[in-house]
Amino acid sequence: MYTLSRRAVPTVLLCLALAGCSLLETDKDKLPPGATAENEPGRPLADIELPVSLRFHDAPPSNPRTVEATDEQLRLDGNVVIPLERGRVAKTNIADGTIPKLEAMLHGTTASTLALRLQANLPYETLALVLGSARKAGIGNVAFAVRETGAGKTVGWLKADGYVMASRADDLPPITAVQLKDWNAFTSKWQPVFDGCRTAPNGNCAYVTDNVAIGGTLKLELFASGRGINIDFFRRGLTPVQEVDEEKMRAQVLARKKEDFLQGRITHDDMVEAIMLGDPSTYALFQFRYQEALKSPSALTKTMAPMCHAERCAVLVSGDSVVATLNVVSMIGAAFPDGTPSPAFAFEQPWTERPKPQVLADFIAQQQAL
């Protein structure tokens, strides 16, 4: 006898929205004494529950360790690791950004790849904990089991070989597999990136400007939150001394403009324009609704193409703790669909705190006091 539990309702609603599926869960009242999510095998994860992706033709993993996660259980090679509560890991099962039981079960393995079968509504925090556990155990490659978008039921793979973990405190992701691009590489292609974003009916696209900062390193981030997904470009890589020098240079330029106005070399309107121009742009954010990641062709593909489809990029993947794995994986697949180079990935740990930015005035005062 089967019935829908309250715990299964969110999953059912998600599946109904995606593919019209229904999920059944064993009635806990019918289970024999001692039958819990911690010591029972648990229900198998159906293919229809996997995240969907525009990238699903990567080569299948060879001799991997397989992790399967539902809203109730985390399993390794079919063996129960820990119970999950609506897909989340209890704090008592977390230590130093890992799941110690999973890390211990993975240690000593000869496998280099972790194959993941994850329920689509699994929170991103759980995914990041699994990835962090595998990385600490020496497994550096991951393959996500995914299914194609639309009405098709084909199951394939999206791979992230050589992935690393990143703290929110990291200025730039700790990716060494490829060279990080310069900020100037983005600003030179801002227009085609913008044009790609504008193909989305509901995209919020950063307008192209000529007032851009020069120099620095590009931080390219895919970010998922709620019902939104972002492709974000940030200028990073400057030391505090370089930032102070840059501020001084901008102040000097503005002072020269003021002197030019006082001496009659420029008009009042030119002076106002110089003041209103503001600081040069150091970031550009391109925002989409998550449904855009399920379309083919996708505006995310066209937004990423000018920067990363001719050569491999370094990409930070980030998300809120509770955002669904579906959104994260679909976002990756839309940005890098079949036929494009797979990037070098860093996955951000959502439980870490982003440091407060240093105030330049404080830094200047410290330097003057030396």
pLDDT tens for each residue of 147-174: 998 777 789 999 999 999 999 988 899 9
Residue 288, helix vs strand vs coil: strand
Identify any residues that bridge with 233 across adjacent strands, giving them in sequence order.
220, 284
Cα–Cα distance between 193 and 302 in angstroms, integer?
Answer: 7
> End of a domain among 135, 162, 189?
162
Cα–Cα distance between 303 and 334 in angstroms, integer?
Answer: 10
Retrieve residue 185's tokens.
């590489």
Residues 232 and 178 in one domain: yes
Residues 347 and 297 in one domain: yes
Residues 121 and 253 in one domain: no
Contacts of residue 204, defined as CB under 8 A and 6 or more positions apart, other chains included, come to: 285, 286, 287, 288
* DSSP structure string for 132-170: HHHHHTT--EEEEEEE-STT---EEEEEEET-EEEETT-
- pLDDT at residue number 7: 40
Residues 168 and 315 in one domain: yes
Q: Are strands 73-76 and 79-83 parallel, antiparallel or unpaired?
A: antiparallel
Residues 103 and 250 in one domain: no
Cα–Cα distance between 284 and 231 in angstroms, integer?
Answer: 9
Identify any residues that bridge with 284 across adjacent strands, giving them in sequence order.
233
pLDDT band per the 50, 70, 90 thresholds, residue 16: very low
Residues 214 and 354 in one domain: yes
Domain hosting residue 235, numbered range: 164-370
Closest CA to 345 of 171, 181, 161, 206: 161
Find out whether 286 and 293 touch, Cβ atoms under 8 Å: no
Cα–Cα distance between 29 and 35 in angstroms, integer?
Answer: 10
Sign of CA dihedral 18, 22, 25, 29: positive
Q: What global pTM score does this model have?
A: 0.81
Residues 200 and 141 in one domain: no
Residues 193 and 142 in one domain: no
- pLDDT at residue number 4: 37
Question: CA geometry: angle at 350 spanning 205 and 6, to 5°?
Answer: 100
Find out whether 333 and 147 touch, Cβ atoms under 8 Å: no
pLDDT surpassing 50 at residue 1: no
Number of domains in the chain: 2
- Write the pLDDT tens digit of every residue in 340-369: 999 999 999 999 987 665 444 554 455 455
Residues 246 and 144 in one domain: no
Residues 226 and 303 in one domain: yes
- pLDDT at residue number 27: 45
> End of a domain among 162, 182, 216?
162
